Structures are given as structure tokens and as C-alpha cells.
Amino acid sequence: MPQPLQSESIFLSPADKTDPVSSWRGWLAVFVAAFALYAATANRGAQWQDSGFHILRAVTGELIHPLGLALTHPLHHWLARFIVSPGLLEPCFAVTLISSLAAAVTVANTYGCVWMLTRNRIGALLAAGSLGVAHTFWQMATLAETYTLVAALLSAECWCLAMYARTRRCGYLWATLLFNGLGIGNHMLAVLTMPILAAVVVQTIRSKEVKTKEVIVGVALWLLGSLPYTSLITVELIRTGDISATVHSALFGKSFAGEVLNTTFSLRMLLIGAGFVVLNFPNLLLPVAVYGMFRGRRLDVPQIARRYLLLAFIIHLCFVVRYSIVDQHLFFLPTYVLLSIFSGIGFAAVQRGVSLRMRRMILSVAVVALALTPAWYAVIPTVARRFEVLKSVERNKPYRDDYVYVFTPWSVVERSAEVMSRRAIELAGEHGLILVEDPMAEFAIRYQAIQACMDDLQIAPDAMPETIVGAVRDGRVIVLVPKHADSPQADPPVGSWIRVDDLYTLSTEPSVP
């Protein structure tokens, strides 16, 4: 009987010996543990910024984002609409649970990907655990955001490609393309790995590993996955007839082309980004991930998987370090997923490439550091406040402690947007007027007004003087939600502001000397 070629044996072992049932049991155990953690620590109420807008759009059904198609994230929006529509859960918590669910899937997929590439359970668990308690990842898992869904689809893409690399079964390549399409249906970040997958497909055609009709099926599945977004683009193009404007909106939104296409680097942004990377991994993940990048070949990790992971990491890293926006650190999540997979490969390599004594020491340190990571996050707000780390960027929004908001990953303890929005409509009453200086606070207030069925409550981001005068004449209570709790910017045309907690009400009573 002829022996298989060496290149074939690389792809056929050791995955053929892997027990599929055992692999899925491990995946399920990791998923359940991660989801329990994120659901227990998830924010339960109204939220600031884009999180608040995701919730508001899910409740109102507003599909197209005012700032353009690129910010619409239709797959996430439709999932949010689906989970909110039965009315079984409070909408804020329901939409946030999508983030928790996607994050748990990502952690479990990371375990599955490392297990498939290395067949090393310890490395897979350490990789999944390191990602699971990473600061930004944990925080995004407990807020109503799109980033963990980005990570879930990318990790599924990586895992399916790893399975294809090991088995050369075309179905796994189809699944890889499908998940990339779904990624685009959720967020344009998925476009970054498209060139790599295109190169993989071309290589499979050249090597005659797949047939033309199989490639056509894969492309069709990619198109199917991308339909939430590509259909939206098509409808917008038909509606407007403007190809240039539609493409611009689809790629960059209405006002982010400069940031997306930026080719310069800011030293300040690089240092902040590096600081967040260290904050996310105060353990052995970073050095072990670098080790894994160079030791995958020794573990017989298939070349196609090694190249894909490395190129995906480089492309995502290059994109994010020059992406000059305030929330730049959130866009590191795909990079963290890839680093975690490399760390799993690195941990597996450590167990093969060093002495037993050294191996035990490294794994002991890794486990202890991982276990202490949440304790480190618990003290960071106090330490950061002591050294005034946020002094130059502190927002001082109503009821919000910026040190808790930025540095505490479990968002269940951060209720400032919920308190602010409830207090604002309580003060204003059903027929009042709420002036909102901060557009990032308006979404939470509008959500609370809808939930309270206050149809006559007026909410204005920037009321004209005649609007205030008219409201005073009509006997409306006027409430100001300031951008900075201690220094409201709005100057009323009549009366004066009276502070109530962190909000303000308009008083037209003459002042007593």
C-alpha cells in the first residue's frame, strides 16, 4: 500500500485522531462558563454613546444610521430587533446580552481553533481564558456594542480555516467564506481579511484541491452571509441613484473617510494603544503569543493556517494603530483574538520545547497571573485616580465616575447613564422640556421617554431661545442635562439654572439679594 506524501500527512494528522465529541464538549464547557461570567456582569440599563443608540434603534426600528451605511451594522441591528421583539427581557439588557453571547462564542471558538491546530488542551484553555478576561474584551461583552460580534465571526472564520487546513474538506472552506460574509454583514472590519481568503481560494484552485463548482458554492455562501449589508447598499443605490455617495457611505460613513484612510501615526495614540494592550494582558499572553508566531511550524501547524493568522494579525494591527479616533482601543479586539490564538500555539510549543521543570514553572505562572487578572482590574480605578491618569481627558458627565467607566470591565457596576436618564425624565415630567448638551447622552434619555410612554415630553439637543421662552410661557418644566456636570454651557434667555444633583432645572423666580 503506497504511503501518503509528507505534505498530506501534515494536514491529516493529528486532527484525524481528535475526538469530535470531546472537542465540542470542551467548546460547550468554555462557552457556558464565559457566557455565565458576561451575563452576570452585563450592564442592565440605558447606556452612553453608541451603546445607547444601538438600544434605541432596536426599540424604534431605525435601521439606517444617520452618519451613513458603514455605521449601520445591519446584522447586529436585526439580531437586536429579534431579541427585543418578544418583550421577554428589558430591552437594554436584551441587546446587551447579544454582546455577552457573541463574546462567549468568541472565547469558545478560540479554544476550538487552538485545539484544532495544536491538539493541546492546556494551551487552548489558557488562550481562551486570557482572551476571556482581557479588559476591553470583557467590557465590550457587557455593553450593547457590535465589537464582540465582530470577534465572534472572525474567530469562527479562523477556526473553520484551521479545520480546512487540517482536513482539506471543502465544507470547512465554505464555512470560512460564509463567516467572512456574515462579518461584513455586521461590520466593515471583516473586509480586512478578504484579501487573505481570496489568496487562499486562488491557491486551492491552482493546487486543484477544490473544483470550480465548489469555489462557486463558496462565493455564493459568502454573498449570502453578506446580504444584510450588501442588500442595504443595493437598496440605497436604487433609492438615491448616486453611485459615488452610496459607495462612500458604505465604506466610510458620512464623515470618517479621513480616519479610515489616514496614513500617519500619532505618537500619543500609539502610546495610549500600547497602554491598553498591556492593560488587557497583564499576564504571559503577549510574550507567549510572540513565541507562538515563530514556533507553529514545529507543532506541525499547517502552513496555510500560520500564514493566514499572521497576515490577519499584521493587517488588523496596521489598520488600528493609524486609525485616529477617540475610541481607537476598541478596534484592537480582532487583534486580541488573533494574539490569543497565537498564545495558545505558544503554550503548546512551551510544553514540547522546554524541560519539564521549566514547563511546570511557566504554566504555573500563567495560571496564577490569569487568576489574578480580575483582582488587578478591581484595583486599577483606585490606582489610576490616585495618579490622575485621566486628568487631561476626564469628561465629568452627570453621575459618571470616569475612572470606573474606563477601567472597570464589568459594566454591571456602571449605572450613570441609567441614573442620568431616569432622573432627567423624572424632573421634567410628562409635559416638560429636556435640553441635552451632550449628544452621547440623548439616546438614553429618548429611550427612557419611550419606555415611560411620555409622548408629550420634548427632548432637544440644542433648543433655540424662543423654544425655551415658549416652554416657560406654556408652564413646562425645563431640565438641562449638561455635557460637564459642574459647568453647563447653555445660557438661558430667561431665568437661571438651579442645580439638582448633577442636572439643572430652569428657575424663573426672581433671585433674593
Assess whether the previous peptide bond of 381 is cis (omega < 30° from 0).
Answer: no
| pLDDT tens-digit map of 144-157 | 999 999 999 999 99
Looking at residue 463, what is its pLDDT? 76
- 328, 357, 376: which is the final residue of a domain? 376
Is 390 domain-assigned?
no
- 376, 399, 434: which is the final residue of a domain? 376
Same domain, 137 and 222: yes
Same domain, 465 and 357: no
Same domain, 443 and 335: no
What whole-number distance in Å separates Cα of residue 199 and Cα of residue 196?
Answer: 5
Looking at residue 352, what is its pLDDT? 85
Is 512 domain-assigned?
no
Looking at residue 464, what is its pLDDT? 84
Is 108 domain-assigned?
yes
**Bridge pairing between strands 503-507 and 478-481:** antiparallel
Q: How many CB atoms lie within 10 A of CB 327?
A: 11
Is 396 domain-assigned?
no
Is 430 domain-assigned?
yes
Same domain, 338 and 453: no
Looking at residue 20, what is its pLDDT? 54
Same domain, 311 and 454: no
Expressed as residue numbers, the domain containing 301 is 15-376
Looking at residue 1, what is its pLDDT? 38
Same domain, 229 and 338: yes
Looking at residue 3, what is its pLDDT? 38
Same domain, 370 and 454: no
Is 8 domain-assigned?
no
Is 391 domain-assigned?
no
Same domain, 106 and 180: yes
For residue 31 the three cell numbers come to 462557552
- 327, 361, 376: which is the final residue of a domain? 376
Is 360 domain-assigned?
yes
Could you give the 3-state DSSP secondary structure of residue 434?
strand
Looking at residue 265, what is its pLDDT? 87
Same domain, 353 and 420: no
User: Per this entry, what is the length of the chain?
Assistant: 513
What whole-number distance in Å separates Cα of residue 492 and Cα of residue 465?
Answer: 7
Contact 439, 461 (CB under 8 A): yes
Number of domains in the chain: 2
Taking only the tens of pLDDT, the chain with its 513 residues reads: 333 333 333 333 333 444 555 678 999 999 999 999 999 999 999 999 999 999 999 999 999 999 999 999 999 999 999 999 999 999 999 999 999 999 999 999 999 999 999 999 999 999 999 999 999 999 999 999 999 999 999 999 999 999 999 999 999 999 999 999 999 999 999 999 999 999 999 999 999 999 999 999 999 999 999 999 999 999 999 999 999 999 999 999 998 999 999 999 889 999 999 999 999 999 999 999 999 999 988 889 999 999 999 999 999 999 999 998 989 999 999 999 999 999 999 999 998 878 889 999 999 999 999 999 999 999 999 999 999 999 988 999 999 999 999 999 999 999 999 999 999 999 999 999 999 999 999 999 999 999 999 999 999 987 788 889 999 999 999 999 999 999 998 889 999 999 999 999 999 876 544
- Residues 6 or more apart in contact with residue 452 via CB below 8 angstroms: 425
- The reported pTM is 0.94
Same domain, 499 and 437: yes
Same domain, 422 and 370: no
Say which amino acid occupies 90: E
Q: How many CB atoms lie within 10 A of CB 359?
A: 16
| pLDDT tens-digit map of 303-313 | 999 999 999 99
Q: How many CB atoms lie within 10 A of CB 404?
A: 18
Same domain, 139 and 256: yes
What whole-number distance in Å separates Cα of residue 470 and Cα of residue 393?
Answer: 37
